[in-house]
Every structure is written in structure tokens, then in C-alpha cells.
Structure 1
Amino acid sequence: MSRIVCFILAVIMAINLKGASTEGFSSHREIIGYVVDENNEPLPGASVRVQGTVLGAVTDTDGKFSVRLNESGNVILQVSFMGYKPVTVESDNITNTPIRLLPSNQQLDEVVVTGSFVERPLKKVPVLTRVVSQRDIQALNPNSIESLLQYELPGVQIGFNSMSQQPEIKYQGMDGEYILFLIDGERVSGEGADHNVDFTRFNIDDIERIEVIKGAHSTIYGSNALGGVINIITKTANRPVSANLSARISNGYGQKYTGSVGVNKYNLTTYTSLTYRTADTYTIGDPESASTTIWGYNIWDFTQKLGYKFNEKISADLKFTNYWNQKDIRTGRLYQEYNRDYTLGAKIKYLPATSHQITIGYMFDNFWKDHHFFRADSTALNYRNIRQTPRIDYAGKFGNVSINVGSEGDIEYLKHYMFKDSTHYTNHAVAFYGQGEWTPIAELDIVAGLRADWHQKYKWHLTPKLSALYKAWDAVTFRLGYAQGFRSPSLKELYMEYDMGGLGWFMIYGNPNLKPETSNQYSASVEFSRWGLNTSISASHNRFSNKIEYLMLSDGTSDMQYVNADKARTTSIETILRYNFNFGLTLTGSYAFTDDYSNVDGHNTSSTRPHSATFSAMYQKKFKKVSLTASLNGQWGSAFDTYSRSSEADVNGEYAWEKRHYDGRTLVAMNVGATFPRGIYVNLGIDNLFNYKDKATDSSLQTPQRGISFVGTVGLNLADMFKW
């Protein structure tokens, strides 16, 4: 790692020296302007970017911005703000006239970056993409990312692993190993529940928005993303000087306190945040005396970002994060569990010419778990996962053709208590990708991509991608797509040798002879957007080969092993309807159907709810100096039946099957918030409004809810309070 970090720092220093040899920004002109809303009120926090450069600025409390240029002449400014239509203006036209932004009645003006490293409006993205915006997050005011995803994305199911005490995700029939989680475009190391990331790493207060690509359509992030990519974009300084304090208290569920400070001016950006959050331990009991305990935790999150624009063409960013999770002590255990992680990343962006961009980046992610034996006052390392991800990407436009080419490395180290003698294994992988987008006519975009993955054990594998967007009329857009996916077995699936429970009940073995999984996904969608109405319906079908599953060994024991099973398939249909009324009310509803059939001896063993829906009503209005937000959010999952097989065969070698029924589930949350003058924000909410209570025996299917809870949040925007 040290060599790569030193190389990146050397490049940054060389660029800095080159920039220093040219004339400074202060010797040239400064563009000053103002951004206002539809009522001609100042719009603080709006983003202003100079087209064709890395330069930009953000507006202060009075809506004022200032951009320093190293070159003279007229330039194009791109101005945007969440919930408003973006505009482009010439710098010569803003001398005496404020830039006025109007509210947007649709999400399609949101900018996304996950499909490529270049920002583009959602309405122009050929690949099926969903955005959870900052406005959605603020209105729901969730306690965790699991809750946020369930309320915002139909087809998301969050289960609970009682052994690891961690959530498990299932998205439209796809388990956690098929969902690639990213933070600012970089892979996340570490495991929480089996084959799932540690979801408690994701601090809601640090999230700006979430971009979701369904299926394996992303060429850049194709490997190990058969079910989709969830890219969490984190916050940065959105004002010339910003500082925020907030506190969230929920009765019986925990507390959260966050402070952040940032600077975004004179081509320097720095952002620092610190969060302390807790979750309380609670127990769910059933009438038949079964019970499940959900153990709490105490977490510290720290983030430090630093960015600098050396000139119009070159910028560099550094990022450091630290996560520290002290879990509550479980009854009967002589140790306390700690989950820790720190990351260090660097990125350089260079614009060699107009419409051309080169990005070089490196991420080091070190995640580990400790057991602290409190009586002996000693600590033992239980697990460590280190991932290093170097990458280089080029994006360019040639007439009506845009291309992305690049390479991504994945250097992994894994020490696991589920390996024999808690040993460690390593793996090296690299991918090369190329993606081209052709716009033969204004209404049609065609994207073709090819990804070549090299794995230390499995060598080369090619995965093609193809998608198209056709805007038949101004209000109607069609999308079609085909993508082949590839997932190499994880180190745990290859080399695991673990006594489940530690009592000799049964062993779970890895399998070094596993083959990689492949998939073929077909997708289609149609979207209508006009008069404040945005509605779409999409369908996708996935077929898997060599799907990796557990299988009981035929040796008279209850031992199990990872194997390549028969072919599997999932089919999903999703529809979304959103309508914005002119008086501040937005209604949103979505529904997903998932046909996930896992056939074992003629029985369906799938635990996926076939029908799910989300719905929300959000009202936003400004009364003089007070901004009011009220929202009602709901999630629903249908009832279903599934089958489980006994662990031992009878005298005839046959296994008994048990049918299990799971009831439907509806959760509703209500929040009312107000922003007062001088930056004071208050939110009052009720989570689980109808007091729904899960059964303890259902905990493997979903994180158990114990009933209604009341939430209070207060925040201070010090930039508004002190007029920074």
C-alpha cells in the first residue's frame, strides 16, 4: 500500500509544482454571481460549475458565489440545486442579473455518476437506474440504511442473522453476495452477516444520495454484481463555510449525535464529520415462548475529506474514514465484540481537452473484528479483510460517440475464524473494460460494453453488455438491455472449514473446485413523464449457471459443503408512479413482483416475498421564513409459503419436508419537520405507526420490529445562524 500512496502523492506534488509555475488565480479574473429561487429568495448551497473544467463553487447564505479563473474570456456555468431544474448560463450574462432556478416536478433532473465517472442527468441514462435523493432521506429521517432501502426500493427484504447479529439483504430475489455495495464508487470490504457487508458501517448522516443500478448492466462495476450495484454517495462541503450539529433520539431504539464542518472556497474543499450513535438491546417474544434478542451497539464514525483544484484541468481528492463499533455483551459470553474499519483513498482528475477526462484512483480498506475478553483484559483478532483497489479510467466524447475505457484492480487479504486454524488466504484480480455510447439521432442512445475479468484462480472471463434508450415522444422513453454477469467464488466459499456452533453439530466446508457463477439478464422498461407525472414499468429476467449453494454431504452426517447447483432463475416486474402537485405535495407509489423459484426435490425453498410495495406522501411548503415538511412513508410485503428440509434422512433415505407460512407485513412512518430562521431544524416522527410486532420465529426473514417508537430530531445549521 505504501508504494501506491507514495506514487499518488508524488503525482499530486508534481501537478502542484506545475500549477505553481503558471500564473496564480489571483492574477486573473473572478466571476461573482447570485442564485435565487422561484420567489427571488437567496438559494444557499447551490452548485456552480464551469463547463469543461474542474472548477466550481457553491453559494453562501446570501446566494452569492465566486469562481476564480486562470483564463480570460466568456465561459459557460452549470448551476444546479436539489429539487430544482438545472440551468446553464454564460458568465457575461450574470453581471447584474441573478441566476434564477425553478422547482423541478420530476426526479429525472437528478445527476448520477455510477454508470460512468461522468455526471449526467438521470433521464439520459440508458441503464435502469434508481436514485434515493437527499430530499427523500431527510423526509423519512431513517435510523439506518436498511430502513431507508426498504421504504424506498420495492423488492428489498432485510433479514436478520441471529449468529452474527447483523442484517442480510435480499433484492428482488438476489442475496447479499450478488449486490455490490460501493461508497463513492469504491468497493466495500468486510463481512457482517453471511455474504453481506456490515450495514452498520453506513452512517445515514454522511449520505448525500444513493444510486441503484439493477442487474449486471454496469461495465465499470460488472464483476460480482449479478444482482445490482448500490452506490452510496457521501456528503461534502456544500457551502463556502458550513457547520452543522444534530441530535436524534428514539425511545427504546437509540440515539445519534453528529457534527460536521466544511469549507469550499478558493479551489480548496475540506469536510470533516463525527458521529456517535447507539442502538438499544431488546428482545422479541412469541406466545409459544420462543424469543429472539437483538443486541445493541455503540458506534463512532469519523470522515475527513480534502480536495484541491490546481488549475482548470487538474484536481485531487483525499479521503480518510474510521468506523468503530462496540457491541453490547451477549448473555453468557466472556468477551465483547468490536468491529473496526478504516479507509484511505486518493483520486486525481485530469481534463486534457474539452469533453475528455482521465481519473486515477486508489482505495485501501481495512476491516477487522476483535474479541475483547474483559476478565483477562486481552484482545484477540477474530477476522480481518483488506482490499486494495487501484483504478484508471478515461472518458471522452467524439462527436456523437462517448467512450469509457479503464482498468480496476482488486487485491484482497482475508483472515477468517471460519478457516481452518483461523488462517488467511489472498486473491489478486484485475479487470479491463470498454464502453461506448452512440447517439445516431437525438432520440436514440445505444450503449455497448465489454468487461474482461482476470482472476488469480480462474484466469480470464469476458462479459458483454448492451442497452438502448429511445425517446419515442417528448414524454415517453423506452429502455432495453442485455447483460452477462460473472461472480467468482469468494475466498470463504473456496476454503471454509468451520464447526457451526462450535459444538460438533455439523461442519461447513468450502470447495476449491467451485466454478464461477454466470448470469444472463434481459431487461425492458417504458417511462412516461409530463405534467408533473412520472411513471414507469420495468421487467427483468435473470438466468444463472453454476449457482453456488450449500448442499448436505451424503456421508451419514449433517455436514454441508458449497457446491455448484443446477441452473436458477429470477424474474421481477417493478412499476413506479410519482405525481407532483403545484402546491407542494408529492405522491409516490411503487410495486414489485419477484418470481424467485428455488427448486429442491420439487419444493420451493425460496424465502423471497413475491409481492412488495412502497408508498409515500410528502408535503413541502414555505411560510414566510419557515419551511415545513411533512411525510408519510410505508412499505408492504405479501404473505407467502416456503419449504424447509430436515437435516437427516429416514431409513429409506428420504428427507421430510416442512411447509412454513409467513404473514404479510406493513410498516408505516410519519415525520413532520420545520426549518426556522437562523438555521434551527426540528423533526418529530413516529416509526412503525400502526404498532406492528414481528414474531421471534420470523427473525431470519426480517429484522424483528417490537412496535411503535417516537423519534425526535433537532439540528443547527451554524452557517445560517451566523450568516456565513
Structure 2
Amino acid sequence: MRNGLLILFLIFLSPCLMADEHENEAPSFKVKGVVVDEKGEPLAGASVWVKGTVVGAGTNAKGEFTVKLTSREKCVLRVSFTGYAPKEREVVPGLDSLFHFALAPGDNALNEVVITGTRTMKPLKDVPVLTRVISREDIAQINPLDLQSLLEYEMPGLQFGLAHGSGLPELKFQGSAGGYVLFLIDGERVSGEGSSNNIDYSLIDVDNIERIEVVKGPMSTLYGSQAMGGVVNIITKDADRPFTGNASVRYGNNDESKYSLSLGTKQGRFSALTSLSYRTRDAYALKDEVGQIQYTHYKDMYDRDSVVADTSTKGMTSVKGFEIWQVNQKLSFTFNDRFRVSLDGTYYNNHILEYIQEKEQDVFSTYKLNPKMFYAINDRHILDLSYVFENYEKKIEYKKSPAEKRLGDMTHNMRLNYTGYLHDRHTLTAGIEMNTQRLQHYWFDNGSGKKFDAQTYVLYLQEDWKVSDSFSILAGVRSDCHSEYGFHASPKISLMYRYGVLALRGGYGMGFRIPSLKELHSEYDMGGQGFFMIYGNEDLEPEISHQGTLSAEVTRGIFNGSVSGYYTRYFDEIGLGLSSDGKNQQYYNADNATRTGVDVMAQFRFRNGLTLRGAYAYIDAHSEVDGYNMASDRPHSVTFTANYSKTFGKVTLSVALNGRWMSSVETWYKNSAGGYVQNEYDSRTFCALNLSGRFPRGFRFTAGLDNLFNFKDKNVTADQSVTPQRGIGVLGTLSVNLADLFKL
């Protein structure tokens, strides 16, 4: 299958390459300019894009840029820089004038262009689907070691815990488990499994992130299975200057360190960026302060309730460490104004570190290739073609024996996407996809090496209609044809109405999730001692969800705030529970489940350098079995940020306080004796304080305190739905922008 897709890619590409042999002989015309801030200081790394083409450039240390075009026709330049309001200007290539752009700081980020919610480039304020953006500067203020820490501080309603058995990170978001949230890197889905039905979150290096776009709610119409609960699209950095270079070192007192280096260039039609990182954190163990009190409810032969209270003995839990090497490579070449190709590649290797060293060690690794082609037929019709090959593996390394492969996940994804801008008010998006997966898993036939595969063929269509300057409609449908489950259609509609400073959004979306190969075909002796088996279920039905959303957003000057609500009903939700024999476990379609929630967000960006932001999320999650709610989602959560920066000459100092609070929760599970066990978990609060200084020649130093108030869980062994805290963390990060250091 892989060879066939590569051949198809080359066949599609070859006519364009041959046509460009003659087009490249045409003379090029230069557009030159300079980009400065409100004080007249150059903005290095600003983005300059020629609208309607695939041509762009970045500014150097002096704020200068040069764009080459093959036509003297008028065009529009769009200039943008993070934290500043973008500007557009009509220019004529070939004239001798130098174009000057002075950008002013933006009151908010609503003019920033996003792509995830519609698969088209639109300003954030005009997207009918409420989208959250985590910028590069937001990431720098938090200064996290990993993706989990970053998302927890930025997104209420999200929590990471430790999966039973593997002890690897496991996500819950707005009442949905990790398998319901689709993670993308540069618009392409992330393959491979860390904990059950969760990606390997360590795959994503936070130093390589430009921004993150988060779209809540079902996005199956555009992105297919797994996008029932939302989409998190991680946009990675590109070479944005004639020379790009960054180096950083990070140390923490909790046995963590990180080293990263990136080098790149953007010269004329060619750009390249190479990123290398090494990060490590030792495993650690924590002990319970108290035993967990459990209440077990039984029913006797007369259907009467009896309750038995029991306090568990104090125990200990361990959190795994890691030692990760990662290399990312980006290459891009623009043949002319209309045609560009790119190639992205990744290699990742993660040695899992245990608190008690064993004779064996888990090793996760992957390598990925992603060629892409962008072709602008004209200003209104654009094609992009992408192919992703990824091979994700888990191996067991022994000290005196060859490594043993336990998991192999090989995927091929190919997509041809068309975007048409019709009659100024209509944007049409249409595409076809082919997705294949071949999975070898140690849960198949007790690790015998058995493999299963699946294929999906997709058509999707979406219309973005700007009915008036105030009202727009986004409607679409996706049809998936799966090798096991046949045809499935997923519709979606979103409406947006703007009245002055108020924007109202509402919509309906259908989500679906096809059972994973693991859920279908597992046959695994848990623990290897014959205590109980975990079985798949080939009779599983796909999960279906229906969600309605409504939101109101207000933007006025330095203030931006929103209130949004959603109601989701799940049918045939897939769970893992006791099989009919009362001993083993099996995947099954559970009773219908519901999720109801409200999100509230407010942000002030004062012109004196102070930014205040807070967000609140309420979740009412129900996954009932025999009338007992098995959901473990904390109903209330809050995140908050206070950041202040001040410039003294050529030095900018800033202080950032980030915090998170999650409420207590009551949850249930069914034991092997048929009783329903009730657990209660306390609320938790943790904060991080970072002091940062940006100095001349590209130096930046950050000193921080994590878990500022030394929060610790009283019972760490019982509640694996959260990651336990182990005291105050002290850390320091030194980074150097090599382009600024050498004034390039």
C-alpha cells in the first residue's frame, strides 16, 4: 500500500514539475521592504505573505525582507508578527520603491490567522467555530518541560492522569477520554499509542511549537474518527529569517534537564529548519499520607442496599521518567508564485525510566515522513496534496538479550484537498483521503506477533458562506467508508452572527469513533499470571455523538471574553468492564452517556504591559451503569494567568503567575464481587511563578518555581486520574537566539 501511495504522489507531482521547467525561465521581480514596531525598531522574524500565492518571506535582524515574483501585476502583501496587529498593502512588483510597514501592538489576538476549525486560513474573529489559540509567547511564560504541563495550565476542563497498568499519561478533556480528542501536528494526525487509546504525548517537543489551535466539540466532518471531543492542532516552527538559530538549556531540581538546538534558513525559494532536542527526567515515587476510604454498595436477594466502609492501607505509587532524543527536519522549495513542495521528517526515541530499575526497559520510537504539495491554480482555486508515513514501535530492551518488539503501528495517510474562493462570499472546501493502519500489539493473542489492519476511504465537502458582513454559515458533511464498518456520514453546521462588539456562535455536529483494532481483537493475560484476561469484542458498534453548542463572545478594546455551553449525547459508548463470567474483562458498548458543560473566559491586555486572563469550566459527565455514574471528571476547574512585562532600555523583564484549581469529585466502579465502590477525591491547586529577562543579542533567561504552594495529594495511589505532585520545583532556562547574537 505504501508503494502505491508514493507512486500516486509522484504521478500527481510530475506534470507540475515538468511544467515548471519552462515557467522557471521567466524573469523574477523583487518586492523589498522593512517591518518595524511602533517605536521604529526593526521586527526580526516578521512574516510577509503574498496573498493568493504560495510565496512568502521573513525579515532579518534589520527588519528587511525580499520577495521574488514572476509577474508585475498588482498583489497584496500581508505582514504579521505575534502580538501585533497585521497590515495589508497593495504593491506593484518591479518598482524601485522600498515598502515600509509599521506594526502597532494588538489589543487582542483576534486578527491572528487560524486554520484548524475550517481547514482554510481565516482571522480568529471570523471563524464560526470557537477556537482557542496558545501562542509562542504564552508557552514562554509558562516555560513547561512537556506538553502535559502546558495544556493543564492553559485549558480548564482538561486533566492528565496515569493510566492503570502502563502508568503512562492519560488525557480527559470536557468529559471525553484521550481517544476522543484528535491531536494533529501541522494538520496531520498523530499516530501511535502511549497509554490505552492515548497518543504518546512525549512525541511533541514544546520547544518546537509555534502555536497550538484548540477546537472544542465534534470535528468528525473534517477530521474523521477520534475527533468526537475536539481537535488539538500543534503548529510547529518554520525558518522565518534568512538565518534562524536557537539554543537552550534547562535544569530543574526535580531531576529534569533539557537541551535543544535548531538551525535553519529562508533564502529566496528555499527554506530549511533542523531541530534537535534531548530531554530527561528521573522516575520518582510518592507515599500516601492517609489511607483511602471506600464505600462499597451491595444489593441482597431482596434488592436492599447495604454499605461496607473500608480504609485501605497506606501505599506508594511511582511516576515513570524518560530519556528522549528527537530530531525534526523541515524542507521547502517554491518553484514559482503558484507551486511549492515541502518535506517534513521526524525521528523520536524514548527510553522509559522506572523508579525501581528492572532487567528490562520499555523503549518507544517512531520515524515519520510527510511530503506536501501546494498548487494555486489562480487566486481563487488552491490544491494541496499530502502523504504521511509513520512507523511507531514499542520494544522491550533487555540487559543481556536482544530487544523484543511489543508494538508496531504502521500508518499511511494521503489527502488531496481543494479550496475555492467563489463570488467573494463563498469558500468551498472538498477533499478525498485514504488512511491505512497495520497494527501489531502485545495485547493480540498474548503477544504472539499477530497483526490486524484496517482501511478508510473518505470524501468530505464544506461550504463557508458569508451571507452578509454580520452573518455567516459553515456547513459540511463527511462520508467514511471503513473496511470493517462500511459507510458512515457525519454532518455539521455552525452559525455566526456579529453585532458590534458581540459575536454569537451556535451549531450542531455529529461525531463518531470507530472501535480501535485493540478494542476489537485483544486477547491479553493481564499481568501474565493468569489472574484475568482482557478480551476484545468484534461485535462492537461505532460510537456516535450528537452535540449542540452556543457561545457569546465580546471584544472591546483591551477586553475579550466569552461564554460557551454544550450538550453532548453519546450512543454505544465503548467501555471496558467485567465480562459475563465475572472474572475477566471485555470491551462492550455501554449505556448511553451525556456530557453537559459551560466554559467562561475573560482576558484583559493593558497597554502598560499587564495581561490578566482567567477561564472556568464546568462539566456534568454521566456514564451510568446500573444507575451508578462511572465518570471521574472533576466538575469544576479554573485556570488563571497574570503576566507583567516592562522594557528598560534594551532589556525586557517579565513576571508570570500561572495557576490551576480543580474541584473534588465522587466516582464509582464495579468490583469483582458485583459491588459498586464509591471513592471521593479532594480538590487540588497548583501554581507556577516565572521571572524572565530578555537581553540584547538574543539572550533570554527564565527562573521559575513550579507547584509554588507545595500542594501534595493525601492519597496518591488511589486517584490515578491526575498526575501526583512531589513538592516545589525550582528550574532555570537559558536560551539564545543565534540570529540576533550574530545580527543576521
Per the normalisation by structure 2, the TM-score is: 0.94
For residues 102 and 203 of structure 1, what CA distance do their matches in structure 2 show?
A: 31
For residues 668 and 23 of structure 2, what CA distance do their matches in structure 1 show?
A: 71
- For each residue in 1:382-431, what CA deviation from the matched residue of structure 2 results, as whole angstroms up to 9, or x when unmatched? 10111110000101011111110101221001100001134110000111
In the alignment, structure 1 residue 656 sits paired with structure 2 residue 670? no
In the alignment, structure 1 residue 471 sits paired with structure 2 residue 498? yes
Segments of 5+ residues of structure 1 without an aligned counterpart are: 649-654
Segments of 5+ residues of structure 2 without an aligned counterpart are: 291-313
For residues 128 and 467 of structure 2, what CA distance do their matches in structure 1 show?
A: 14
Pairing 1:413-562 to 2, within 5 Å after superposition: 413-420=438-445, 421-473=448-500, 475-555=501-581, 557-562=582-587
Identify the residue that residue 299 of structure 2 maps to in structure 1.
Answer: none
Identify the residue that residue 341 of structure 1 maps to in structure 2.
Answer: 366
In the alignment, structure 1 residue 20 sits paired with structure 2 residue 39? no
The answer to whether the 8 Å contact 1:645/1:658 transfers is yes
- For each residue in 1:312-360, what CA deviation from the matched residue of structure 2 results, as whole angstroms up to 9, or x when unmatched? 1111110110000112256363211110001001110111111211111
SS of 1:492 mapped into structure 2: helix
For residues 426 and 657 of structure 1, what CA distance do their matches in structure 2 show?
A: 37
Identify the residue that residue 730 of structure 2 maps to in structure 1.
Answer: 710
For residues 12 and 217 of structure 1, what CA distance do their matches in structure 2 show?
A: 30
Q: 1:94 to 1:433 in 2, by over 3 A?
A: farther
In the alignment, structure 1 residue 381 sits paired with structure 2 residue 408? no
Identify the residue that residue 690 of structure 1 maps to in structure 2.
Answer: 709
Q: Relative to structure 2, which stretch is displaced further, 439-448 or 155-164?
A: 155-164
Q: 1:330 to 1:415 in 2, by over 3 A?
A: farther
Q: Which amino acid aligns with 1:31?
A: V
TM superposition shift of 1:531: 1.9
- For each residue in 1:106-165, what CA deviation from the matched residue of structure 2 results, as whole angstroms up to 9, or x when unmatched? 121221111233221111100121111111101111111111111101100101125223
Q: Which amino acid aligns with 1:20?
A: E
Q: Which amino acid aligns with 1:718?
A: L
> Which residue, out of 224, 227, 234, partners 1:225?
227
The answer to whether the 8 Å contact 2:549/2:564 transfers is yes
In the alignment, structure 1 residue 719 sits paired with structure 2 residue 718? no
SS of 1:696 mapped into structure 2: coil
The answer to whether the 8 Å contact 2:220/2:228 transfers is no
SS of 1:434 mapped into structure 2: strand
SS of 1:98 mapped into structure 2: strand
TM superposition shift of 1:6: 4.5
For residues 220 and 627 of structure 2, what CA distance do their matches in structure 1 show?
A: 35
- For each residue in 1:639-664, what CA deviation from the matched residue of structure 2 results, as whole angstroms up to 9, or x when unmatched? 1212232212xxxxxx3233211111
In the alignment, structure 1 residue 563 sits paired with structure 2 residue 563? no
In the alignment, structure 1 residue 700 sits paired with structure 2 residue 720? yes
Misfit runs of 4+, over 4 Å: 9-14
Q: Which amino acid aligns with 1:274?
A: L
The answer to whether the 8 Å contact 2:220/2:512 transfers is no
For residues 322 and 112 of structure 1, what CA distance do their matches in structure 2 show?
A: 27
For residues 544 and 3 of structure 1, what CA distance do their matches in structure 2 show?
A: 37
Identify the residue that residue 159 of structure 1 maps to in structure 2.
Answer: 161
Number of equivalences: 714
For residues 98 and 713 of structure 1, what CA distance do their matches in structure 2 show?
A: 36
TM superposition shift of 1:253: 3.7
TM superposition shift of 1:453: 0.8
For residues 96 and 615 of structure 2, what CA distance do their matches in structure 1 show?
A: 42
The answer to whether the 8 Å contact 1:329/1:337 transfers is no
For residues 153 and 422 of structure 1, what CA distance do their matches in structure 2 show?
A: 39
SS of 1:494 mapped into structure 2: helix
SS of 1:19 mapped into structure 2: helix
Identify the residue that residue 108 of structure 1 maps to in structure 2.
Answer: 110
Per the normalisation by structure 1, the TM-score is: 0.96
TM superposition shift of 1:604: 1.9
For residues 126 and 308 of structure 1, what CA distance do their matches in structure 2 show?
A: 33
Identify the residue that residue 652 of structure 1 maps to in structure 2.
Answer: none
Q: 1:605 to 1:3 in 2, by over 3 A?
A: closer
Q: 1:34 to 1:572 in 2, by over 3 A?
A: same
Identify the residue that residue 651 of structure 1 maps to in structure 2.
Answer: none
For residues 165 and 142 of structure 1, what CA distance do their matches in structure 2 show?
A: 21
For residues 595 and 321 of structure 1, what CA distance do their matches in structure 2 show?
A: 39
- For each residue in 1:680-718, what CA deviation from the matched residue of structure 2 results, as whole angstroms up to 9, or x when unmatched? 111111111001112322451111110101110001111
TM superposition shift of 1:233: 0.8
SS of 2:137 mapped into structure 1: helix
For residues 259 and 719 of structure 2, what CA distance do their matches in structure 1 show?
A: 29
Identify the residue that residue 56 of structure 1 maps to in structure 2.
Answer: 56
Q: Which amino acid aligns with 1:506?
A: F
For residues 239 and 332 of structure 1, what CA distance do their matches in structure 2 show?
A: 46
Q: 1:52 to 1:603 in 2, by over 3 A?
A: same
Identify the residue that residue 422 of structure 2 maps to in structure 1.
Answer: 398
For residues 11 and 242 of structure 1, what CA distance do their matches in structure 2 show?
A: 32
Identify the residue that residue 145 of structure 2 maps to in structure 1.
Answer: 143
For residues 82 and 477 of structure 2, what CA distance do their matches in structure 1 show?
A: 34
TM superposition shift of 1:12: 4.4
Q: Which amino acid aligns with 1:472?
A: Y
Q: Which amino acid aligns with 1:464?
A: P
- For each residue in 1:63-99, what CA deviation from the matched residue of structure 2 results, as whole angstroms up to 9, or x when unmatched? 0000011111332100001111111012259935520
Cα RMSD (Å): 1.5
SS of 1:239 mapped into structure 2: coil
For residues 554 and 52 of structure 1, what CA distance do their matches in structure 2 show?
A: 61
In the alignment, structure 1 residue 626 sits paired with structure 2 residue 651? yes
Pairing 1:272-421 to 2, within 5 Å after superposition: 272-288=274-290, 289-329=314-354, 331=356, 333-376=358-401, 378-399=402-423, 400-420=425-445, 421=448
SS of 2:221 mapped into structure 1: coil
Q: 1:97 to 1:595 in 2, by over 3 A?
A: same
For residues 185 and 272 of structure 2, what CA distance do their matches in structure 1 show?
A: 18
SS of 1:703 mapped into structure 2: coil
- For each residue in 1:251-290, what CA deviation from the matched residue of structure 2 results, as whole angstroms up to 9, or x when unmatched? 1141000000111121111010000000111111113541
For residues 309 and 249 of structure 1, what CA distance do their matches in structure 2 show?
A: 40
SS of 2:218 mapped into structure 1: coil
The answer to whether the 8 Å contact 1:329/1:335 transfers is no
Q: Which amino acid aligns with 1:485?
A: G
For residues 213 and 589 of structure 1, what CA distance do their matches in structure 2 show?
A: 18
For residues 2 and 274 of structure 1, what CA distance do their matches in structure 2 show?
A: 29
Q: Which amino acid aligns with 1:19?
A: D
For residues 204 and 591 of structure 2, what CA distance do their matches in structure 1 show?
A: 35
The answer to whether the 8 Å contact 1:33/1:94 transfers is no
For residues 584 and 637 of structure 1, what CA distance do their matches in structure 2 show?
A: 29
Identify the residue that residue 69 of structure 1 maps to in structure 2.
Answer: 69
The answer to whether the 8 Å contact 2:558/2:604 transfers is yes
TM superposition shift of 1:622: 2.3
